[in-house]
Structure 1
Amino acid sequence: MQFPESWLREFCNPPLSTEALAETLTMAGLEVEELKPVAPPFTKIVVGEIREAVQHPDADRLRVCQVDVGQGTLLNIVCGAPNARVGIKVPCALVGAELPPGEDGKPFLIKVGKLRGVESQGMLCSARELKLSEDHGGLLELATDARVGQDIRAHLNLDDTLFTLKLTPNLAHCLSVYGVAREVAALTGAPLKAPAFPPVAVSGADKLPVTISAPDLCGRFSGRIVRKVNTQAITPAWMVDRLARCGQRSVTALVDISNYVMFELGRPSHIFDLDKIHGGLDVRWGKSGESLKLLNGSTVTVDEKVGVIADGSQVESLAGIMGGDATAVSDTTESIYVEAAFWWPKAIAGRSRRYNFSTDAGHRFERGVDPGQTVEHIERITQLILDICGTPDTVCGPIDDVRVSMPEAAPVTLRVARAVKVIGMPLTQAQCADALRRLGLPVTEGEGTLRVTPPSYRFDLQIEEDLIEEVVRMIGYQQLPATPPLAPITAHVRTEAQRSGFAVRRALAGLGYQETINFSFVEERWEHELAGNPHPIKLLNPIASQMSVMRSSLLGSLLQVLKFNIDRKAGRVNVFELGRVFLRDPASLNTDTTVAGFDQPMRVAGLAYGPREGLQWSLSDKGVDFFDVKGDVQALLSPLPAVFMPGSHPAMHPGRCASVAVNGHAIGFVGELHPQWRQGYELAQAPIIFELDLNALLQRPVPKFQAVSKLHPIERDIAVIVAEGVTHAALMAGIHAADTQGLLKSATLFDVYKPQHGNTVMQLGEKSLAVRLVLGSDDATLTDEQIEAVTQAVLTSLQVRLQARLRA
């Protein structure tokens, strides 16, 4: 929030410098993000009045002006501004004046000079030349009551500073100049000038019928009718200036008044053109299919989750966010309806983001606005309307105040001992009570306790910790002692049978993959197509429409990274991600690290696309295939033995996908991207992808010492004929199941033969597998009988398990 220091000091003026005031606010939790002067430094620029303006004899666009600057004699100044005319008062830079630096960064010094042969004894200035705004359409015209010769900095109050506060959401009561002043008074003890709201004279009896059909949307709706107003009135310069210093441009007098009160008191309001309202107003939730053209020119569609203000024929306003174009005031407006309401914060929160815009009103209402002073603030708005837009015929009606559901202030108790423990410094009950009373909170003292009933503007005070925060804010965070922690710190030592997630990252990086970090929020389409998840976990308040659900798979994020890189002409992409996925799990309970109903396991996924290796002379540019990535998965799981079986995954090719199992438990999948998704992503070749449970990768067997045998190993080769569907894993399982004496050291498949035509030895649908057996013993040299016994046991096992027969 931005505001000028001078406006703040009108409500509370402590004896502090600008820098000290900013430090005080920051140390109380109201962080001052920036201090910026209203105007850059310049000197010898005063208020001047043009007494005479005649055409330059040698230039059509120049005028020779006689300017009174309070020195007794008129200055002869040549000016080319289109609005230079007799009678106006403008900034005049005297000879020797130093104007703000230009684009070259150097100050501009005013000297006596000649323009087309006519001497010029100064310079008449525009707002842009003084760096007050970007307006360069002509001279900056000053008020008619400006004193000639007065320094322009004093006249325009340019020795002012703009404060920019970075407020946390719980400090919504400080989203106004008066709200900040209230904090300054509490912090410094300086007197606070509270605004008065004297009721204006009521000269009419008209009321607009208002119905609140949604008490959970609006708790209070106040308004009044004002007739015969001058909507073409000019906004006073002082109001335009203050709005500009708050970052708000002037629009029309009525809009400016509404914005001014919002910055002054924190109360957003809206002014309707009364004659454009059909019947009365109904405050309700929207209906599916209803639309509304807003003041910003865009047309939005509402539904049952968006609050609206409607009349007898159509929706007229988005509740607490923005008014509609149909009832906007214009130059032809004669009668208006001034509205101020209390909207429940939860009913407004997030609605603006649905339409991709935000408003000052919505920013305040979704954090909370004082429900107790809608009538008083309407009185303030009305008085400004009468002062600026009033006419002799203006008729002001009574305020209609409809209350249906007001928040109830629940008392909050503060235990002094608890506050001392949380804050970490010794405090007395008197100090705590004084801090709360300085904030204007009613305090009832007990034995070691303080009881506070929050006022209506402090809707953020709900639990004991809220009061503790208020105490420490008033004391000042800079007063907290720098006490080191006393609790013992015990390092969590990972067992030798476990490895860290960082070790998994390092292993994948060693295999040539690069890590990516992606959002956990993904497109709902990804969940349906790539994860086969028809009911993903939806976000109540997505940050973007394409990030509306929580991911249950990492593959969609990796494919997005692939597409991003391919679109930028990357020929080879090897990426991985280690992250959390989110699954529905009714068995999950609430703990310190889990949420009831949801499982959040960690997974690791990878993707390989393009050539297996980078371009080099010694290797071919073979494209990556299933077996390359399968080898990477095996290396990642090593020394755990991985079993790959034909599998099925929504994102993978039906015939080129394998499930991965370790110790009999499935831990993930590896395979080629499904042709349908490859075509959808417009990929020249199919990437190979895998996704594994991270916990399975973190387990690893501890290496055991084993002496190297001093005896020679024995090798035997066997070839068996089996059915074509027999897998390598089944073959190895059958071989090792036969080793009951521990003499079989290893078995390696070294040849596969499939006949193209049937013969007497093998039929179509069969294949020959040649395996080398390595036998040995650490105790003694094997005898021929022992070797033959192991070989026959292997053959018998394969015959029983796989119906294999020895190939002659």
Structure 2
Amino acid sequence: MKFTLSWLKEHLDTSASLAEIVETLTRIGLEVEHVHDPAAQLKDFTIASVIEAKPHPNADRLRVCMVDTGSGAPVQVVCGAPNARTGMKSVFSPPGTYIPGKKITLGKGVIRGVESLGMLCSSAELELSNDHDGIIDLPDDAPVGAIYAQWAGLDDPVIEINLTPNRPDAAGVYGIARDLAAAGLGVLKTRDILPVEGKFPCPVAVTRDFAEEDAHLAPFFGLRLVRGVKNGQSPAWLQARLREIGLRPINALVDITNFLTFDRARPLHVFDAKKVKGNLVLRRAKKGETLHALDGRTYELDESMVVICDDNGPESLAGVMGGEASGCDESTTDVLIETALWDSQNIAHTGRKLGIVTDARYRFERGVDPDFALAGLELATQLALDFCGGAPSELTLAGELPRLSRAISFPWSETKRLTGLDVTREEATMILERLGFSVESAGDEIAHIAAPSWRPDIEGKADIVEEIVRMVGVDNVPATPLPRMDGVAPPVLTLLQKRARNARRALASQGLVEAVTWSFVSKEQAEAFGGGAPGLALANPIASDLSDMRPSLLPGLVAASGRNAARGLGDTALFEVGQIFLDPSEKGQRLAAAGVRRGLTGAGRHWSAPAQDAGAFDAKADAMALLATLGVATGGLQVVPGGPPWFHPGRSATLQFGPKAVIGHFGELHPRALTAMDVEGPVAAFEIILDALPAPKAKPTKIKPKLEISDLQPVSRDFAFLVARDALASDLIRAVAGADKALISDVSVFDVYEGKGVPEGKKSVGVAVTLQPREKTLTDAEIETIAQKIVTEAEKKCGATLRG
């Protein structure tokens, strides 16, 4: 909703500044979104007189002008405008002025060897119009030295408010002025709207052709004919009002309806009476009917829409837009002025269905003031007579104006109960009466309050409290802390819910991006990942390729990774936390966390290691990081080679705390599974069943060791052991770590090799051992002794020998 400050003051007698008005509007709930103040933008532009304009010595199309700015000695300006001449008055900007039309700050310049100390401006450069042809040519009586914006009347700020749907009364400037007056910022100017005496009966009759249950669609309709009008341009002040809020003046009759729409929140419509054939009928549209509207488009109508028809068919779409066939133009001599009430829900439905957004629809779908329907028609008639002349007819009315009785029994204590504000009965009564409410006392503690006709949103006691509070000021509501509860609040989330939340954080921190995929997969994909049981098939799938409940999160993630690769994003890392379905029973539904990596990864023992395709160890790192974040003790965790059939048999492993306590799998996916998904590999993946993770013990059986930070430098040694091909690396790690538990702080595998130089049936496992001295620096002899103990333990417990 836009309006100018001067327009507001037509209805509000106030001495408040622009800043005070803007602050008050926001405070009382009419939030100001933007204020455009042309005077602030044009404050440095002044009126100047061209004393002399002579040709530029070095350019045919330029002139050198001596300009009297009213501030002292004449100023030299180089100007390229063809209309620059001696004796004219124009708009001058000195160096340092920001030119809005050019988006530059003007500086001193030398143009073709001649100094220029300012600029004579065009309308386009001041963003007043699109006129680039020459500089502004002012009349001879324009005062030299005066600020141009003030002299030209361009110092009228435009205020734009963000209107909430419950305030249809504020869709008019008069309603906004009424709110500001109630807030104590001035006095509302009220003017009586006198009825216009009809000179003859209206020759056009109006009927409502609705079924009884549809009478609410058009409860009231009023019409008046004005003969002998001369429809030309509207007065300059009205055109200026419309332009300032972004509307284009059309002609006097149309401009009147647009003006009243914004001034009084009363949409009206005008028909060219000579283009209307016969009488008017209000009815539902018929299927197949069309309307060529004022916006130049043709709309197909249906039975849900209300239209105004003559003998030719629909002439107007009720409450939304008129038809072009009966529109008023400069040839109009007889005009029908319409006022009406329409059903707000029907108007909103019609507008959305046809995609039409108009100022009339905006107001009708929020609810207009029914008591102003006739007054708006009288006001429009008077303006038409003032601007266009003519003779008015008597009114033709159809239906009745609704009489709503909305008295609310209101306890004065309700304001304090709901808001904490202690507002006296006298102050509350004054606020409500200023807003147009009627207040009748029903005792010391209660009153009967009736909302005005322009406030359809007032339905209960809380709405009245809201009106009082917004005028008193929401910032005056006391800050009251919630009462402190005794004891510690019980946990809200279950262990599984906490794990799901923490799992998302852990996997995101690993560089994976969360995906949300369908809980349904195709039959073929379900079978490729261990599902496809008849009990998990959907009776009525939404698509043929979404026929079964997913047995794993991996099909959806692999498919998403494949779609990314097909679009050129081959390096993907995705994760999901969600439900999987192993069988139709309740226990068959499990919560899992899974991730996939496809393409290049920088994983390696050193930052300088080249990027390589994601592999089983990348998936293992993700899975172990997840378990660590969830607080799962991994001391007894077993990593058993091999996994389900959809994992590569030689590049995967199962995570378990025993044969009957499997918690998940990791590794590279089997090529057969990738073929079923139509995705190129390799793809590394893991899946952890969060339900299967052991719950933390209520009382820890082991005390966390004291943190020790040594000042001594750790020592790292690498060992390459030959072990049986089927030996577990975890067994070797435990053996090495047990060689000296006091000094060995970390053991990790950095290489596994089979091939040339390694005997048949054996493999080489590279182990990095970190020694952390705590009392003194280790000597070479001590390090060698520990190394020998490591080799001995590895040979004793795993049959390992040092590789030569």
Give the TM-score category using the shorter length: 0.5 to 0.7
Choose 451-460 or 351-360, whichever is displaced more.
351-360
Structure-2 separation of matches of 1:361 and 1:454: 24
Q: How many residues align?
A: 603
Q: Which residue of 2 aligns with 1:474?
A: 471
In the other structure, the counterpart of 1:456 is 453
Aligned to 1:15: 15
C-alpha separation in 1, matches of 2:555 and 2:396: 56
2:275 and 2:57 mapped to 1: Cα distance?
A: 56
Going from structure 1 to structure 2, the CA distance change for 1:615 and 1:148 (only over 3 Å counts) comes to closer
- After superposition, what is the alpha-carbon deviation per residue over 1:678-727, rounded to whole angstroms, capped at 9, x for unaligned? 99xx9877999x9x9xxx9679763569999xxxxxxxxxxxxxxxxxxx
- Paired residue secondary structure (1:215): helix
Q: Please, which of 192, 196, 199 is the counterpart of residue 192 of structure 2? A: 196
Provide the C-alpha distance between the structure 2 equivalents of 1:21 and 1:374, rounded to a whole number of angstroms: 29
Distance 1:318-1:133 versus aligned 2 partners, 3 A rule: same
| Distance in 2 of aligned mates of 1:377 and 1:239 | 17
**Distance of 2:562 and 2:184 partners within structure 1:** 58
Q: Is 1:240 matched up with 2:233?
A: no
Contact 2:121 2:136 in 1 (8 A): yes
Call closer, same or farther: CA 1:494–1:106 in 2, change over 3 Å: closer
Name 1:304's counterpart in structure 2.
303
State the partner residue of 2:409.
413
Whole-angstrom CA distance in 1 between matches of 2:369 and 2:682: 58
SS in 2 for 1:208: coil
Query: Which digits, 9 at most, give the CA deviation of each residue in 1:17-55, with x for residues without a partner?
Result: 21122112211111122222134233564499x999999
Q: 8 Å contact 1:612–1:622 — kept in the other structure?
A: no
1:243-278 deviations in whole A, cap 9, x for unaligned? 122222323333222211111111122222222323
Distance 1:67 1:263, change over 3 A: farther
Asked if 2 retains the 8 angstrom alpha-carbon contact of 1:409 and 1:456, the reply is no
Structure 2: which amino acid aligns with 1:480?
A: V
What is the TM-score normalised by the length of structure 2?
A: 0.61
Render the CA deviation track for 1:86-108: whole Å, top value 9, x for unaligned.
9xx99723697996525353247
Q: 1:187 deviation in Å?
A: 0.7
Secondary structure at the aligned position of 1:349 is classed as helix
Aligned to 1:185, the other structure's residue is in SS state helix
Task: Report the more deviating stretch, 630-639 or 374-383.
Answer: 630-639
Tell me how far 1:184 sits from its aligned partner. Answer: 0.9
Residue in structure 2 matched with residue 292 of structure 1 by the alignment: 291
Partner of 2:525: none
CA displacement, residues 385-439 of structure 1 (integer Å, 9 cap, x when unaligned): 233333xxx2322222322462623112221222211011223322222221121
Q: Percent identity?
A: 34
Counterpart residue number, 2:426: 430
2:480 equivalent to 1:483: yes
CA contact (8 A) 1:62 1:79 kept: yes
Gapped runs of 5+ residues in structure 2? 519-536, 544-552, 580-588, 604-609, 617-621, 634-643, 646-659, 661-668, 670-674, 703-804
Q: Among residues 674, 689, 702, which one is paired with 2:695 in the alignment? A: 702
**1:159 and 2:155 are equivalent in the alignment:** yes
CA distance in 2 between counterparts of 1:93 and 1:280 reads: 56
CA distance in 2, matches of 1:134, 1:605: 64
Opposite residue 371 of structure 2, the aligned amino acid is G
How far residue 173 of structure 1 moved from its aligned partner, in angstroms, is 0.8
- Would you say the 8 A contact 1:91–1:126 is kept in 2? no
Partner of 2:776: none
The 1-side partners of 2:116 and 2:230 are apart by: 43
Name the structure 2 match of 1:387: 386
Residues 59, 116 of structure 1: 8 Å contact kept: no
**1:605-653 CA deviation, whole Å, 9 max, x = no partner?**
9998884885878976799xxxxx99999999999xxxxx99xxxxxxx
Distance 1:684 1:462, change over 3 A: same
Partner Cα distance (2:417, 2:312) in 1: 59
Which residue, out of 491, 515, 525, partners 1:493? 491
Question: How many Å separate the matches in 2 of 1:175 and 1:321?
Answer: 16
Could you tell me whether the CA contact under 8 Å between 2:199 and 2:393 is conserved in 1?
Answer: yes
State the Cα deviation string for residues 343-393 of structure 1 (Å, max 9, x = none).
Answer: 222222254333344222222211111111112112222222233333xxx
What corresponds to 1:283 in structure 2? Answer: 282
Q: CA deviation at 1:471?
A: 0.6
How many angstroms apart in 2 are the aligned matches of 1:402 and 1:105? 60
Secondary structure of the residue that 2:312 maps to in structure 1? coil
In structure 1, the partner of 2:28 is: 28
Q: Equivalents in 1 of 2:371, 2:156: separation in Å?
A: 33
1:270 corresponds to: 269
Unaligned residue ranges in structure 1 (runs of 5+): 520-529, 537-553, 581-601, 624-628, 640-644, 647-662, 664-671, 673-677, 709-808
Q: Distance in 2 between matches of 1:155 and 1:341?
A: 42
Q: Secondary structure at the match of 2:336?
A: strand
1:236 shift after superposition: 2.4
CA contact (8 A) 1:95 1:121 kept: no
- Residue 439 in 1 paired to residue 435 in 2? yes
The equivalent position to 1:179 in structure 2, one of 175, 179, 184, is 175
- 1:27-426 counterparts in 2 under 5 A? 27-39=27-39, 40-43=41-44, 45-46=46-47, 92-93=90-91, 101=99, 103=102, 105-107=104-106, 126-136=122-132, 152-188=148-184, 190-212=186-208, 213=210, 214-231=214-231, 233-390=232-389, 394-404=390-400, 406=402, 408-426=404-422
Alpha-carbon separation, structure 1, partners of 2:380 and 2:441: 39
Give me the whole-angstrom Cα distance separating, in 2, the residues matched to 1:687 and 1:362: 59
- 1:182 is displaced (CA, Å) by 0.5
TM, length-normalised to structure 1: 0.61
- Over the residues paired in the alignment, what is the CA RMSD in angstroms? 5.7
**C-alpha distance after superposition, 1:52-88 (max 9, x if no partner):** 99999999999999999999xxx999998789999xx
